[in-house]
Structure 1
C-alpha cells in the first residue's frame, strides 16, 4: 500500500503536476492523521473495556467483602445488645429486695457480660483496591470517598472495642476474681463440668451490697451504649456502601 501511494506521488511530480501533488500530499497526511485518530480511539476503547471489566470484577469481590462485614457487624451488635441488657438488669437488682431468685440470676447475668468480643472486619479486597488504584477506577465519587474513609472508620470503632476489652480484662474481671465465685457460675452456665465449689460464701449477696460493683456495672452499661452506637453507625456505613456498589455494578453491565 505504501509503495502504491509512493508511485502516485512520483507520477505527479514527473508529470509536473505540482498543485495536484500538494493536494494529494495534504490528503495523504489527512488520511494518516485520521488513521492515527481511529487507532487511538480503538486503543482507548480497548483500555476502557479492560478497565470496566477489571472494575466490575473488583466491585463484585468488594461487594462480597462488604456483605461479610455487614454480617459481622450484625453479630457484634447483637452481642453488645445482650451485654447492655444484662448490665441494665444487674443495675435493677440493686434496687430490688434480695432473694434467692435474684441472687441466682446474678450468676447468669455476670456470665453474659464478662467476655468482650473483638471482631476483625474483612479488609483484604479494600486494601488491595486502595494499594493498586482500583478504587480510583470507580465512577462514583461518593462511593470512592466512602471507600477512602472506611479504613479510618473501622480503626476508630476498633479502638473503642480495645478500650472496652482493656476495661474488662484489667479492671472488671480482677475485681470479680476477688469478690465472686467463678466456679459456681461456670458449673451452671459453661459447657464444662467443673463441679461445685467448696466455698459457700454468699458472694452474690455481697456484690449487690457493694458500691464499687455497682459503679463497675454502671460504667459497663455506658460503655456498651457507646459501643452500640459506634457499631450501628459502622453497619449503616457498610449498608450504604453496599447500595452504591450495587448501583456501580448495574451501570457497568
Structure 2
C-alpha cells in the first residue's frame, strides 16, 4: 500500500513537471514573439529620433550664419521636424502577465529571468528620459519659439498644414543671431540624444532577451 502511494505521488510529480515544462515553453515562445515585434517598432523609433537629431544639428549649424546663407534653408521646416519626438510604448501583455501571475518562477533560465527584470528597469529609465525631453521642449523650446518665431509658419510643415504663412511680419534672421536660441537648441539636442541612448539601451536588452528565448524553444 505504501509503495502504491509513493508511485502515485511520483506519477503526480512527473505530471506536474511535464505541465510546468509545457507552460514554460509557451511563456518563452510568447515572450520571443512579443519582443521581436517590439524590437521592430523600437528600431523604427530610433531611426525617427536620429532624423530629428540630424535636423536639430542642421539648425545649430545655421545659427550665426549670414542672412544669405540662412535664406537658402527652410528654418521653419527644420524646427517643425525637431519637435516631432514621440514616446515609445512597447507591447507588454506577455511580460506583465508573467510577472504579475508569478509565472516567472516557471522560467528555468536564470539569465532570462534577470533580463526580464533589466527590461522593466530600463523601460522606467526610458520613460524618465522621454519626460526630460518633453519637459525641456515645453519649458524651453516652445516657450522661446512662441515669443520669437511664427508657430503658424512652423506648424505649416506639421499636421496643421496651413498652406499659408503668417500675415504678420516675421524674420527668422534675428532669431538665428540670438545666443539664447542657440542655447535652447543645444539643450534640446542634448535631450534628444539622451532619449536615443535610452532607446538603444532598450534595444540591447531586447536583443539579448530574443537571443535567450531562441535557445529555449
Q: Deviations over 1:59-103 (max 9, x none)?
A: 222222212221232122112201211111111112533226546
Alignment of 1:66-105 (within 5 A): 66-99=35-68, 102=71, 104-105=73-74
Q: What root-mean-square deviation, in Å, do the aligned CA atoms of Structure 1 and Structure 2 show?
A: 1.9
Corresponding residue to 2:81 among 96, 112, 120? 112
TM-score by length of 1: 0.79
Aligned-partner Cα distance in 1 for 2:162–2:76: 16
Cα distance change on mapping 1:245 and 1:223 into 2, 3 Å: same
Shift of 1:115: 3.2
Corresponding residue to 2:183 among 207, 215, 240? 215
Q: How many residues align?
A: 217
**C-alpha contact 1:69 1:121 (8 A) present in aligned 2:** yes
**C-alpha contact 2:43 2:203 (8 A) present in aligned 1:** yes
Q: Deviations over 1:8-37 (max 9, x none)?
A: xxxxxxxxxxxxxxxxxxxxxxxx343333
SS in 2 for 1:99: helix
Matching of residue 246 in structure 1 with residue 204 in structure 2:
no
Aligned-partner Cα distance in 1 for 2:106–2:166: 63
**C-alpha contact 1:183 1:194 (8 A) present in aligned 2:** no
SS in 2 for 1:248: coil
What is residue 7 of structure 1 aligned with on the other side?
none
In structure 2, stretches of 5+ residues that fail to align are: none
In structure 1, stretches of 5+ residues that fail to align are: 1-31
**C-alpha contact 2:53 2:189 (8 A) present in aligned 1:** yes
Higher relative contact order (CA 8 A, sep 6+): 2
Matching of residue 60 in structure 1 with residue 29 in structure 2:
yes
TM-score by length of 2: 0.91
Q: Deviations over 1:179-202 (max 9, x none)?
A: 111222333555634533211321
What is residue 177 of structure 1 aligned with on the other side?
146
SS in 1 for 2:133: helix
Matching of residue 198 in structure 1 with residue 167 in structure 2:
yes
